[in-house]
Chain A
Amino acid sequence: MEEKPINVRHPSEHFLDELRVFSEYQLDSCFGDGECMRVCPVVDQELLISELNECTIGQNELTDAVTQFTYDCFQCGQCTIACPAGVQRDILMVYLKHKAMKKGEPPHLKSYYKAKGISGWNPNRPEQKSLGKELVIRGYNLMSSRKLGVLKQHVDKTEFRQADTLIYFGCYIFSHTGVQFKTIEIADKLKLDYEVLGGLKSCCGWPQLLGGRIEEAEYLHRYVADVIDKIRPKQIVTGCMECYAALKRMARLNHSTWEPLTTSQWLLQFADQLNLTRSDELVTFHDSCHCTRKLGLGQNPRNLLGKLYNLKEMEKNKEDALCCGYYNFKGNPGLNQEIVKQKMDMVEKTGAKTLAVECVTCQESFESAAKARGIEVADLVALVHRNIFPE
């Protein structure tokens, strides 16, 4: 009889298939140490790892306790760093989120999805063809584009010119932080040949992927990759670490020749040209979970900050850094506030009055709590912009 392997260990074309197989074979390594749960900022410490594992396997149903944990999970990845057996629990949680989402959107997360402009997902129709969804996106784009000025023309546009650099904003083209405008101004000063893309239809799909809405994420990845093909850039710059992770994945799956860059990677290329000047002002840095823990890029922002300020690390930094808690920013404000409070305490201990970030969502999550304590939250792009365009 022909021998067949138990599992597909080679990557499949369909991410979900791989995720299911991956989850099961990762669980083979779990020996119940429980460190993943002890370091988790959101899990109920009474939850048993046996229950969590059981729910993760194949098509097994989720218990109420696991469902709640699945909804609350930030995707910060602390569990994966902590696991002595090397289990990538954060990825297993994506699979659990997928199973939970199949039951429908959790009521308490609807506001989060609404804020991201991605509510109303139909798992059976990820292609966004429903008229209702189309109208939601168009309406959001219309309302949110009013204040975009020069960027308005780029929202979900369908005509592109070829350019060496693509500045990709995704949904943060609508961010109130203004970092997107500063990015453009720096690109202009550098006299770069660039094209811009942003908007909900051109979303990177990463929030959907991390939320378990995998079919929708796959659709968005394909859509954005197709658009990028038309622009034929050599590099794509993004100031959102989730967008960066998504672009990295798209590049890999499509064997693309373009390279995604974080804003710190991008700005470091031009450090000499920008004539950056350094001051002795104390600044601390928040590592985004994706930047440092998941993608291992934590040194770039430090190198850039070192050219501008006196960097003082927080008590928990780099791989041990505390998540910004953005995922629960809208959905479960209580959890978000607790995390942000801890972070602000750590910032205060450094004595720095400025908290630098390299991800727009982190900035949004911290802003109001920081303001109340007299701390400024500033994106690296904003700090470079301030350096080269002094007021």
Chain B
Amino acid sequence: MKHVIIGNGIAGISAAETIRKNRPEDEIVIIGNEDGPPYWRASLSKYILDIIPSQKMKIKPDGWFEKQGIQQIQGDVKRIDGPGSRIFLKQPQAEAEIRFDRCCIATGAKPVSLSIPGSDLPGVLAFRSLSQANQLKKTLASIKHLVVIGGGVLGMEVVELAVANQINCTVLQRGNLIGTPLVDEHGADILLRRVTGQDGVHPPCAEVIFGDGIVEFCSQNDRLSGIRLQSGKEIPCGLAVVCIGILPDPSIVEDSGLAFERGLLVDEHQQTNIEGVYGAGDCVIYPTESGGLAPTRTWVTSRIQGKTAGYNMCGIPSLLFDEGPMYNASYLFDLLYTVIGDFNPRGGNYRSFHHHPDPVSYRKLIFKDDRIVGAMMLGDRNGDQAIRRLIAQNVSISSDLQKQNLLDPAFDPNDLAKEGIEFIMY
């Protein structure tokens, strides 16, 4: 059987790896359009800061693809013929055709750009790929003021870059919350206080402007010199980084017969509307129980989606999150966070329990019918693995006192053994 994977990011690699593990004899082809081997996209800021050297940015060791018998092709896909089980490449030769038995589309997503005057000026950058990171690294060394457009998760990473380079920084954010969607309202407030120096941990790291959108990138000598806001305010800057989100590129599925609506539509098996064609990673979107559509664009979910697609491509029926609930943990600015499962639900019969041990940390647990279904921790995430296990095991905790106890950062996971929950080792 021949498996073709389009996209060599973490979702694509995870699919290829899973197929190889389960089907040693099958043919696997992986198509990627970036120069160089797959890299740790989520660690690009540490690469810019020279904390991670370039040789440590590779996801797989040298020679891995050859050893696994996975053929790599560098090039862009021109068109997918879903029903005909064919892929046409733009490069290396026009109309090159690859046939497949099973295909996984894992093409990721592209940064959303602004359609305003000056958006193509040198000095206006996105931050998504290794080549963009290299550009950013080079530019940071020569500027005095940086404007970050978008105060979400990626925007906060760019603020960190500004701080490390001792550059003044302004963040523009729509609405009145930063750090979303990984934090709720209260978490956003903690983050804002940290970034703007109000919590006293750092001196102010950035000015945050809410609800005053950018209308123009201004130029001097054909280079970015500043930005102009709706209010008329002008901010001089040598670099503007646009971090207003990512979206899958619909051109990949044009004339393919594949259903696409703000993302490639897949079910919980990662299967698209065409049999034998799967999707994984940032390019996909799921129908939700309430009839809407939900992307889950994190590093961990991309990996799990890739694995799930891989199993199903091998004919081993698997469901998304068989491995456990959605989990994501890292830093938001310099605040540790963990989010697990359904951590910010809307509507329904959810109850949330909150704990604010101090002004710089916060934790929240979400229960549905006494079952713990989600958690969010910011600043201190002690015990998050235990909570992750509780959510994975769909544990029912009836008393409110026990629910409150779980919120205590000092709780001993071993005590949960009384609830019949087993933890590995400690």
Q: Does B99 contact A (CB under 8 A)?
A: no
Is B329 a contact of A84 with CB atoms below 8 Å?
Answer: yes
- Nearest B residue to A94 by beta-carbon distance? B425
B46 within 8 A of A: yes
Contact call A48/B324, Cβ cutoff below 8 A:
no
Q: A18-B424, A54-B60, A86-B329 are in contact. Are A32 and B304 (CB under 8 A)?
A: no
Contact of A5 among B59, B319, B425 (CB under 8 A): B319
CA distance A29 to B55 in the complex (A): 20
Residues of chain B lying within 8 A (CB to CB) of residue A31: 40-43, 299, 330
Contact with A along B268-279 (1 / 0, CB 8 A): 000000000000
Residues of A within 8 Å of B46, CB to CB, are 33-34
- B52-79 residues with Cβ-Cβ distance < 8 A to A are 52, 55-61, 64
Q: Which of A1-47 contact B (CB under 8 A)?
A: 1-7, 9-11, 15, 18-19, 22, 25, 28-29, 31-34, 38
Give the residues in chain B near A255, CB-CB below 8 Å: 417
Q: A22-B424, A25-B324 are in contact. Are A86 and B385 (CB under 8 A)?
A: yes
Q: Which residues on the A side are within 8 Å of B329 (C-beta)?
A: 29, 84-86
Report the separation of the CA atoms of residues A290 and B177 in the bound assembly, to the nearest whole angstrom.
40
Knowing A3-B317, A28-B300, A32-B52, the reply to whether A48 touches B58 (Cβ < 8 A) is: yes
Interface centre among B40, B64, B336, B338 (most CB of A within 10 A): B40
CB distance from A203 to the nearest CB of B (A): 17
Question: What 1/0 flags go to A175-202 for Cβ under 8 Å of B?
Answer: 0000000000000000000000000000
Report the bound CA distance from A38 to B49 in whole Å. 15
**CA A248 – CA B121 in complex, angstroms?**
62
Contact across chains for A9 and B331 when beta carbons are under 8 A apart: no
Task: Decide if B426 touches A295 in the complex (CB within 8 Å).
Answer: yes
Task: Determine the chain B residues whose CB is within 8 A of the CB of A84 once the complex forms.
Answer: 329-331, 336
- Contact A4–B424 (Cβ < 8 Å): no
Partner of B61, one of A6, A28, A48: A48
B residues less than 8 Å from A94 (CB atoms):
425
Task: Determine if B318 is an interface residue (Cβ-Cβ < 8 Å).
Answer: yes
- A276 interfacial by beta-carbon distance below 8 Å: no
Residue in B closest to A55 when the chains form the complex, CB atoms = B61
| A5: B residues at CB distance < 8 A | 318-319, 322-323
In residues 377-426 of chain B, which contact A (Cβ within 8 Å)?
Answer: 381-382, 384-385, 392-393, 410, 412, 414, 417, 422-426
Cα distance, A245 to B323, chains bound together (Å)? 27
- Would you call A50 and B58 a contact (CB within 8 A)? yes
Residue of chain B at shortest CB distance from A50:
B61
B327 an interface residue at 8 Å Cβ cutoff? Answer: yes
* Nearest CB on A from B271, distance (A): 13
Indicate if B307 sits at the interface (CB-CB under 8 A). yes
Can you list 5 A-B contacts (CB < 8 A)?
A15-B424, A25-B323, A50-B56, A86-B381, A209-B425
**B positions within 8 Å CB-CB of A:** 21, 39-43, 46, 51-52, 55-61, 64, 299-300, 303-304, 307-308, 311, 316-319, 322-324, 327, 329-331, 336, 338, 381-382, 384-385, 392-393, 410, 412, 414, 417, 422-426
Additional A-B contacts beyond A3-B317, A33-B42 (5; CB < 8 A): A10-B422, A25-B323, A33-B46, A248-B426, A252-B422
**8 tightest A-B CB contacts, nearest first:** A32-B40, A31-B42, A11-B422, A5-B322, A86-B329, A6-B322, A252-B417, A84-B330
